Amino acid sequence: MKLNFVTLFNSNYLSRGLVMYQSLQKHCPNSHLYVVAFDDITYNYFHRFPQKNLTAISLEQFEDEKLLSIKYSRSGGEYCWTCTASTVLYAINTFKLDHCVYVDADMRFYSNPQVLFDEWGAKSVLITEHRYTSEYDQSLISGNYCVQFVGFKNDKEGMKAVNYWRESCIEWCYARAEDGKFGDQKYLDDWTTRFKNVHVLEHLGGGLAPWNIQQYEFHLSGDKITGKELKSGNEFEAVFFHFHGLKIYKNNISLLTGDTYEMTTDTFGLFYKPYLHALAIVSEKVHEHTGYVFNSNGASENSPDKPFNFLSLLRWYFYDIRQGLKNLDGKKTLNRIKHHHYINING
């Protein structure tokens, strides 16, 4: 069975989208990715350089009257969120699909997602929890479920859910918490009771992200990444990682994720470092193809901060001491380091 996926991105995310696509093709060659190209640069790139098992869709093809009626009342990011459900509906209806899964462009696959489809089984809808580490729990604001891997079958309940989601997002979809809503995401909170045949993904390898990696340790098993849940000792194979919040700057520095989250050494070495390397290779190829007329990593400015070094350690330590002698033990400074995620891309 061919596995159908849909995503959306513009030229600022082109390298991310291509890395996601390449990883999907590597681990799941029987997949097809539908890309709603959110600018002409992206659509023209795929038109000029066609990819196997990838169909590019222009905004002119995708947008309808309802979407266009609210487009300019929302920011660019909010409009992308507004369109998420519509991309699934468009793909199912236009290409006569029996199912389709929305995936974020800033993900990378590490093994075949068929195992997630097998778990989904005969249910109509598939959603994935954030699985927040307790100290980072934002579910009251951002929702229990993450819009990163959301699947729908072309059946009564699946279509009922995706149409409800689309209409809800057209009515309200903003980057703020309001009346129990937040973007396109908080709508999913009641789906297990609002709709029938909804499955919540259980596989821990589906949905790895900066807000939950502290619960696991990882190691390489041949060419696969194996995780172990620290609480239970249960092992699992990594299926996909969501690189939410990763930014690349013009001065060759990357912010891996926000300073809210603590990152482990194995997570950096097994996920982030290879991902940045893959982005560098893909972006260089894109820039060669297009004559360096735009930055496919979305780098438009220099980084607001620099990577950690010995001088910054001293600076932070003495600053913390000035705030209070209780900081002489250096614990506050060490905590700063754990949450400082700027790195040299070529370092």
* Percent of the chain predicted with pLDDT > 90: 78
Full set of structural domains in the chain with CATH: 3-208 (3.90.550), 310-344 (no CATH)
Q: Give pLDDT tens digits for 196-247.
A: 999 999 999 999 999 999 999 999 989 999 999 999 999 999 999 999 999 9
Spatial distance between the Cα atoms of 78 and 175, rounded to a whole number of angstroms: 6
- What average pLDDT score do residues 326-333 get? 74
Residue 310 predicted with pLDDT over 90 = no
Mean residue pLDDT across the chain? 93
Residue 329 predicted with pLDDT over 80 = no
Give the pLDDT of residue 315: 77
- What average pLDDT score do residues 139-160 get? 97
Give the pLDDT of residue 75: 97
Output the CA angle 172-258-264, nearest 5 degrees: 130
Q: Give pLDDT tens digits for 244-298.
A: 999 999 998 999 998 889 988 899 999 999 999 999 999 999 988 888 677 888 8
Residue 65 predicted with pLDDT over 90 = yes
Whole-model pTM: value is 0.93
